[in-house]
Amino acid sequence: MHIKKLIGLFILSLALVNCKEESIQITQTQIIPIPNSIELSDSFFTIDENTGVTYDDNLKVSAQFLKNFIETGSQITLKQGNAIQFLIDETLEPEAYKLTVSKKEIKIEASTDQGAFYAVQTLRQLMPVGLENGAFSENEILIQAVVINDKPQFSYRGMHLDVARHMFSVEFIKKYIDALAMLKLNTFHWHLTDDQGWRIEIKKYTKLQEVAAYRDETLVGHYSDRLHQFDGKRYGGYYTQEEVKDIVQYAKERFVTVIPEIEMPGHAQAAIAAYPELGCSDQPVEVAKKWGVFEEIYCPNQKTFAFLEDVLDEVLELFPSKYIHIGGDEAPKTRWKNCEHCQALIKEEGLKDEHHLQSYFITKMEKYLNSKGRQIIGWDEILEGGLAPNATVMSWRGTSGAVEAAKSGHNVIMTPTSHCYFDYYQSENDDEPLAIGGFLPLEKVYGFNPIPEELTENERQYVLGAQGNIWTEYIPTEKHLEYMAFPRMLALSEVVWSQPERKNYKDFVSRLENFHQRLDALKMNYANHLYDIEYETERINDEVYFKLDSNLSEDKIIRLELNGSEPDYESRVYTEPILIDKSMEVKAAVYKFNSKEKLGRTFTQNINYHKAVGAKITINKQPYKAYSGSGAQGLINGISGSDSRYGDKEWLGFWGEDILIEIDFREELEINSIKTRFYNSNGQWIYAPEKILVAFDNNQYQEFNLANDELLINFEFNVANQRAKKVYIKVQNYGTIPEGKQGAGNKAWTFIDEIIIN
């Protein structure tokens, strides 16, 4: 037998010799998420037909999972015996485990079946990839000797899935849950209802299945497209209660808790389409066929509350979870403002306004769920008007909601758009599948710290963990969904499981490169951007340099061409940053060292050298942390942002603030034009300014009005032989988003791109 049969935990450097003469050098572990501690040995345990399994009855689920994994993935049938032992250790925390592999035995120790299950998921990654799909044909499995002590950093480790916009099969939902379990994620947040569809059978209200579950047609293209087009095809469906029970039980056997989300008071148009009396106008509406936020909202009257209590009664029978998610986000108040009943209720209850009416609504539903022994989770809008007494906040609009809730003694789950929205683009490549917008690369997910810096040591206890969200407006197929989820889900698993001091992105990339084999075996359609080249610019002594990086291991290099053809294996090797002193096109690619093999795609970047490149720039306000691009200097580095996504390295985002930009050339220059542009995706709360002001040195500002009916709003100011040392640009924020628009009542975002001065 040969060491080449060993696949999984380690990258090995060895001669292929007989096992009795093994000589190996272990260079790197390959487990994701990385355990707290690993002690390695140079021997191996062999699983074969003589291997037996014994377990404490309290660890039966995890033991049976391991037995089934080995027997269905190979030709080996395990016997009764103590070669593989599952043992109770009551000193360990509920989700902790100790895994010991020696030459003679495997021991899994845990205080709960859940802890032992996570040990099995680790052990799974020590075994050949072929076991994942039954492709392993050997009669023995070799496992490296190791001692692993491990436990999670956070108690809540979740992934979300929206099935209201696009629905996925029961089989696929189980595949999704399998992936969570493999990565030691313990919560599946199932978003079941929204404006575009109601996806769960409620037997008392049959119109939810007959009407609310189907829309007449679906938007084609992007919501930001100026002319909306539709496919003309009826779309919909729902999960029967039997299917829901099956999925919940399937998840339970993998120690994944399923938390259902039943949206209220907003995102209710599908339900109101079925039962118009639930709205404030009693007027018929249709199930929404495009994306966005709609004004239809549950009317806070006895009929509505009775309906929701009946719905929740059936939901509670299906989901044994401690938490029920009630949404609470993006609830426009227009209908309530024009509703006689709502206005009378505000006066009767002594409420301040419609925001406090939402708090009244949420509190009423929370009390009902509390009376049933359950607790609510809501998006951070439930903070508006006062937080319901026992609510847990899911913070998505940045981290401010989490900070506010934690400082008030409420539990929080971190899921900010900046790091946890996996429906955002993950690459700047032009051929990426259509996404809602934004930009969330793998490294940014991996770098997420779920504990906000503003919290004290005592307040940090209220951060239960984090969750990745996948909204499916632009994700119609299972393959597309897998592409958006992986590998970002793997990065998140390490964020929420592993201790911060164990994390290292380059090491993670190396382990991920190996993990791709497992994803291949599982037929997972993952995105592979490991060989994408990243760049940054750096200003040194009034000069700007262009730097490349690709998280390269020692056996890989970058080859590049300037203003030339595609790089090949004869192109020059990138060794130092490139001075930006003229316009140029940079093309680069990753190659294996001393090899003609190109890895990944060609990186291309156009650099537009202009008079502001290398100048000093200051902005009176800091960009929002999640959308800080390349910083202020990135506005004059010669590189323009993406035409289709606002969250890349070049766009700078400011939330609800006017900004003043000063560009200092340090000497008087002749200026003929100033150009820039603004992002204008109203569906994502981003509005171009209506007004911009420009001044030279200490001269009076000149004011310009901007149109705002395109996705990208260009600004160009041409002057004749203007001489100046400094340029000042005032950008006025759009202000509050108006009623009837997505995000109504919230501050608008401003996103600004490269400022080009010639």
- Secondary structure (3-state) at 4: helix
Task: Report the first-to-last Cα separation within the chain, whole angstroms.
Answer: 70
Closest-CA residue to 741 (of 286, 424, 334): 334
Supply angle C-alpha 340, 342, 348, rounded to 5: 100
What is the spatial distance between Cα 479 and Cα 482, in angstroms, rounded to a whole number? 5
Alpha carbon 684 to its chain's center: 16
8-state DSSP, 34: P
Angle 241-252/170-182 helices, nearest 10 degrees?
20
Determine phi and psi for 579, rounding to 5 degrees.
-70, 130
Strand, helix or coil for residue 574: coil
User: d(Cα 670, Cα 365) in Å, to the nearest integer?
Assistant: 65
Burial class (CB in 10 A: 0-12, 13-18, 19+), 311: buried
- At 447 the three-state DSSP class reads coil
- Residue 456 phi, psi dihedral angles, 5° rounding: -75, 170
The C-alpha atoms of residue 264 and residue 382 are separated, in whole angstroms, by 10
Q: Is 194 a catalytic residue?
A: yes
Q: How far is residue 50's CA from residue 83's CA, in Å, rounded to a whole number?
A: 9
Sign of dihedral through CA atoms 101, 106, 112, 118?
positive
CA–CA distance from 686 to each of 131, 201, 444, 474, 623 (Å)? 48, 37, 21, 19, 14
Separation between Cα atoms, residue 730 and residue 211, nearest integer Å: 51
One-letter amino acid at 64 equals Q
- From 95, 194, 366, 754, the catalytic residue: 194
CA–CA separation, 107 vs 83, rounded Å?
8
| 263 is known as an active-site residue | no
DSSP per-residue string spanning 320-351: --SEEEEE--S---HHHHT-HHHHHHHHHTT-
Active-site residue, selected from the candidate residues 160, 166, 267, 410? 267
Sequence-ordered alpha helix ranges (H) in 230-339: 241-252, 269-274, 302-318, 334-337
* Residue 728 token pair: 């000042």
Annotated active-site residue 330? The verdict is yes
Say which of 201, 330, 381, 384 is annotated catalytic: 330
- How far is it, in rounded angstroms, from Cα 607 to Cα 581? 10
What does residue 213 show for φ and ψ, rounded to 5 degrees? -80, -5
Q: How many CA atoms lie within 13 A of 69 on its CB side?
A: 27
The catalytic residue positions are: 194, 267, 330
